[in-house]
Structure 1
Amino acid sequence: MNSGTKLDLERIIFLGRTYEEYMAMFSFTEEELNGKKILDCPAGACSFTAVANKSGMDVTACDIAYFHSEEDLKNKGLQDIDHAMEHMEKAKSNYKWEYFRTIDDLRHHRLQALHDVSSDMKEFSERYMPVTLPSLPFEEKAFDVLLSAHFLFTYADRLDYDFHINTLNELLRVTKEEIRIFPLVDLEGKRYEHLEKIKHYLTENGYTVEEINVPYEFQKNANSMLKISKVPTSI
């Protein structure tokens, strides 16, 4: 991997959600995921992979951040949590304070996720694959289920429509059953402007697409996900 594909550590925001947040934002039960081969892409500092594997699931994480060492990422994560919490007070009105009651509660959950992922990376580094989207180093249909949180649609201001399509095609290539993407809004809480166009593209290519409300909302308006099901082609 040449150095040009790496992202400078200072440009990476290494903040993560907890396993419990994942189960809520993707509206999954453990029973639904047991026996499935799962990819979290991009996973960042989320602890879903760490906790799920301890529960007997089969989860792999991938992210551009994983080109960096576990120690460097942990230190960056601690800095990013401090930075985010300092600015959260000013942006408080952009969030719903129900899942998290206070900023201290939010800090606790972000620190817990960072601790879990850092410990797991140190012990099971093979679960954490460095990748540079829109390209993935996995075989076709390598995973049953793929989860993608706070990346596509979230960064609509810096990821153009072609990048979204190319990335979705790559995610679909490595997935056997379904993809779930959360949320459907950008950083300002606005619905992704090309979402209907993307849904039409996916439907035209033979996939079943559903917007599903989920039992999780922290950022205002971020309370639904896109479920893309791969329909078996008839012979």
Structure 2
Amino acid sequence: MSRAEQRTKLEIERIVFIGRSYKEYLDMFSLSEDELKGKKILDCPAGACSFTAIGNKLGLDITACDIAYYHAQEDLVNKGLQDIVHTMEHMENVKEKYIWDYFKDINSLREHRQSALNDCANDMRESSERYIPVTLPMLPFKDGEFDILLSAHFLFTYAERLDYEFHITTLNELLRVSKEEIRIFPLVDLEGKRYEHLDRIVKYLEDMRCTVEEINASYEFQANANAMLRIIKGR
């Protein structure tokens, strides 16, 4: 194996390629299909979620972006399959940190994650132009290119890895490419604790003339992860 191949293998091993379903997205972000019709939507970062795949088949206009998309599709699918196995093994030891209403049990969760990966992988093969590789906090899109931007399980979630300045820089970039609004889910970190700088973030956004509100979601799987932040851009 060459050094370049070794480096690529190491880089993909650092990525967790796992995704949520289209229905989970609607529930996490308190959205209906009717609200999304006629809108240009960005899922950032999208991972192995099926939101783009299913949404576009239903006539929506969705683009997905993620650092994972720099890698070959076959490598990502293999990584996704491995990550599902590892995640389910881990879930056995931390089941008490999750609410088992949305999913009946670990087998049900596995089926949903596998289905999302399959839908994403098939759509990437058929419509690769919808899947844009990016490295946050920078995005390769025009100002106001998207009406709605959805961001799940990244900002706030990885609070121990992403500092406050990274959050601010990323939010500024999300605002730049959004025309109308941004929705971020959840508002807690991996331990289920509310992001410590959330009030400071809200104040920053309000000072930029954004309207910011916390909205309870009908979706709760990780305990305490049951709310999202809706940011409406100021005019």
Query: Scaled by the length of structure 1, what TM-score is found?
Result: 0.96
- Which runs of 4 or more aligned residues in structure 1 lie more than 4 Å from their structure 2 counterparts after TM superposition? none
Query: Which residue, out of 127, 141, 144, partners 1:141?
Result: 144
Superposition deviation, residue 7 in structure 1: 8.0
Superposition deviation, residue 130 in structure 1: 0.2
CA distance in 2, matches of 1:58, 1:72: 26
Paired residues for 1:8-157 under 5 Å:
8-157=11-160
Query: Which residue, out of 175, 178, 197, partners 1:175?
Result: 178
Unpaired runs of at least 5, structure 1:
none
The DSSP-based 3-state class of the residue aligned with 1:118 is helix
Is 1:218 equivalent to 2:218 in the alignment?
no
Check the 8 A contact 1:7/1:65 in 2, yes or no: no
Percent of residue pairs bearing the same amino acid type: 69
Task: Name the structure 1 match of 2:206.
Answer: 203
CA displacement, residues 32-51 of structure 1 (integer Å, 9 cap, x when unaligned): 00000000000000110000
Is 1:229 equivalent to 2:232 in the alignment?
yes
Check the 8 A contact 1:18/1:113 in 2, yes or no: yes
CA distance in 1, matches of 2:151, 2:125: 23
CA distance in 1, matches of 2:202, 2:56: 32
Q: Which amino acid is 2:58 matched to?
A: S
Superposition deviation, residue 87 in structure 1: 1.0
Task: Name the structure 2 match of 1:162.
Answer: 165
- The alignment covers a number of residue pairs equal to 230
Unpaired runs of at least 5, structure 2:
none
CA distance in 2, matches of 1:70, 1:231: 38
Query: Scaled by the length of structure 2, what TM-score is found?
Result: 0.96
The DSSP-based 3-state class of the residue aligned with 1:28 is coil
